[in-house]
Structures are given as C-alpha cells and as structure tokens.
Amino acid sequence: MTHEIRLDVSVCFDSNALPWQPFRPAGLANGLYLHPLRRLESGQLRSAVLNIPAGWNSAKDLRLLARLHFFVISGDLKLGNLTLTENSYVVQPEKSVMPPFGSANGCEIIVIADGTPAFDEDIGDANGDSALILSNAYDIPYHQPAHDGWKLEGFQHRTIWQDPVTKADTRLLVVPPGFEGRGLNYHPVNEEIFCLSGDIGPDDIRLMKPGWYLWNPAYGVHGWHEHSNGGSTVLEWHDGDWGMTMYEIEND
C-alpha cells in the first residue's frame, strides 16, 4: 500500500496556554475540566490534560466503554482505596470496572482514550480484566534505544505499556542534555509527545517546556532540528507499531 508522505504537518503548542474546558463524559458528574490535546477527525477526544479538582469523586463503580490511560502529572489520583501520585500510570481496559475515582487535593493527569471516553453505571457485562497500575513509571527498567546502528547515548527508554496485538505503546523517555537528532524522518503511526520536564525542540522555531504537546501525524515528515539544551523527560504514545524511516528532502 502506498502512503502519502507529507511535510510540515506536525502540531505543537503549550497546553498551559489553553483555557480549561468543562468536561462531563457520559456517566460522570459535573466538575471536571480539561485541556484537549488531540481530537480525531470525528471530533472524538484522543488525548487531553484532565483537571480533577480537590474533593471531586465519581462516588461509584463504573464500567468503561473504551480503554483509558491515565498518567499523573501532579497531585493525587484516588482509585478506590488506592492513592496514586506524580508519575503513576494506569491502563483501564475496555468494559472493565473502575472503582470510584477522584482526588483529595486536586490533580492533573494525561488521559489517552482508545475510543469514546465514557462510563456506564450498569456493570453487569464487565469483562473482568484488571487494570495495569504502576505506582511509579520509573520503576520499569530502561534501555538505551538504537536505530539502524545509531545509539542514542544517554537516553533512558521505558516502554510502560504495549498492546500485544496492535503494538500501540506508551513510553517514558529521558533525553540527555545536548541531544541532537539525526535528521528528517517519519513514522507509519501517529506519534504524540508531552513534555514533563526540561526542554526539547522539534525544530529551531519551537522549544517545548513542561506542558507542551507535539503531534507528528502518521507519514508526516518531521525532525528539522530535534534537540535538547538541558535535557528533558517526555511521555510519548503511538496508536500502532512505531518505526522510524529517514527521509531525504531531495526525494520530494
């Protein structure tokens, strides 16, 4: 199958600059707010920063209508009797039962939705699969990535979740100071990146800081000058089997 290779289609912005939008998915009470990061062409929410105010709680068990991922940026996320803090990561399977969730002191979390983010009070046909809960994503062993013999010196790559069928994944990447990218490239899947700390630039125009978000669409050429001055930590997720193909501008 031939795919269209596109130039300059990446989307990059500071989510901190967005106004908070009220968010009430089916099955939940008012009181939640979000910064949308990416929506699909249908308008369905794919990723967002979710704000759970202090004292808000869903107050009941709920069945998820789609698989949801949660990464705690700050504050405390309560799942039943469990309290999760910064750098915790949860994957709640589709049709699984999620215990009452909320926050005692308020929190901000990254939400990634593999389908419509909605909840149902009827838990009769729950699938029984348990959630993946990492109290600290840094507890996952890391490795130093390499591509076609190019070692990314000083990198720490943690795959904190991967779908065994589609190979979609979520990664926690620590980027060393002084990093310089290899050049123009593209991926066969959508790549989304959220800066958690430090600085990282996709080019010479934009320098991502904490709260910045980058979306590299599938088959979108990027990497005009990937670099980091002081080092960075990013959360990165893909909707399929990630791979990197180098691109020569003369080919266009």
Residue 175 belongs to a domain with what CATH number?
2.60.120.10
pLDDT at residue 145, as a whole number: 84
Asked if residue 65 and residue 129 are part of one domain, the reply reads yes
pLDDT at residue 32, as a whole number: 98
Q: Does residue 41 belong to any structural domain of this protein?
A: yes
Q: Does residue 217 belong to any structural domain of this protein?
A: yes
Asked if residue 91 and residue 186 are part of one domain, the reply reads no
Please give the tally of structural domains in the chain.
Answer: 2
Q: Does residue 27 belong to any structural domain of this protein?
A: yes
Asked if residue 189 and residue 100 are part of one domain, the reply reads no
pLDDT at residue 116, as a whole number: 94
Asked if residue 217 and residue 172 are part of one domain, the reply reads yes
Among 79-88, 151-160, 231-240, the least confident range: 151-160
Q: Does residue 35 belong to any structural domain of this protein?
A: yes
Token representation of residue 35: 């910064």
Distance between alpha carbon 87 and the CA centroid of its chain, in Å? 12
Asked if residue 206 and residue 156 are part of one domain, the reply reads yes
Asked if residue 170 and residue 219 are part of one domain, the reply reads yes
Distance between alpha carbon 20 and the CA centroid of its chain, in Å? 18
Last residue of a domain, one of 137, 165, 185: 137
Residue 241 neighbours by CB distance under 10 Å: 14
pLDDT in tens, 34-68: 999 999 999 999 999 999 999 999 999 999 999 99
**Reported confidence tier of residue 125, pLDDT bands at 50, 70, 90:** confident
* Residues 52, 106 contacting (CB under 8 angstroms): yes
Q: Does residue 28 belong to any structural domain of this protein?
A: yes
* Residues 186, 238 contacting (CB under 8 angstroms): no
Q: Does residue 252 belong to any structural domain of this protein?
A: no
Q: Does residue 79 belong to any structural domain of this protein?
A: yes
Whether the predicted pLDDT of 24 surpasses 70: yes
Whether the predicted pLDDT of 18 surpasses 60: yes
Asked if residue 87 and residue 177 are part of one domain, the reply reads no
For residue 148, count CB atoms less than 10 angstroms from its CB and return exposed for 0-12, middle for 13-18, buried for 19 or more. exposed
User: Residues 216-233: what's their mean pLDDT?
Assistant: 97
Q: Considering only CA atoms, which of 234, 226, 188 is closest in space to residue 210?
A: 234
pLDDT at residue 151, as a whole number: 81
**Reported confidence tier of residue 217, pLDDT bands at 50, 70, 90:** very high
Last residue of a domain, one of 120, 137, 154: 137
Q: Does residue 1 belong to any structural domain of this protein?
A: no
The whole domain housing 165 covers: 6-13+139-247
If you write DSSP's letter for every residue of 179-244 in order, what string do you get? -B----EE-SS-EEEEEEEE-BBSSSS--B-TTEEEEE-TTEEB-SS-B-SS-EEEEEEESS----
* Three-state DSSP class for residue 16: helix
Last residue of a domain, one of 107, 137, 167: 137
Asked if residue 224 and residue 155 are part of one domain, the reply reads yes
**Reported confidence tier of residue 1, pLDDT bands at 50, 70, 90:** low
User: Residues 207-213: what's their mean pLDDT?
Assistant: 98
Asked if residue 117 and residue 155 are part of one domain, the reply reads no
Asked if residue 125 and residue 31 are part of one domain, the reply reads yes
pLDDT at residue 45, as a whole number: 97
Asked if residue 161 and residue 67 are part of one domain, the reply reads no
Asked if residue 173 and residue 115 are part of one domain, the reply reads no
* Residues 226, 18 contacting (CB under 8 angstroms): no
Residue 119 neighbours by CB distance under 10 Å: 20
How far is residue 165's CA from residue 129's CA, in Å, rounded to a whole number? Answer: 16
pLDDT at residue 210, as a whole number: 98
Whether the predicted pLDDT of 252 surpasses 70: no
**Reported confidence tier of residue 250, pLDDT bands at 50, 70, 90:** low
Mean pLDDT of the chain: 94
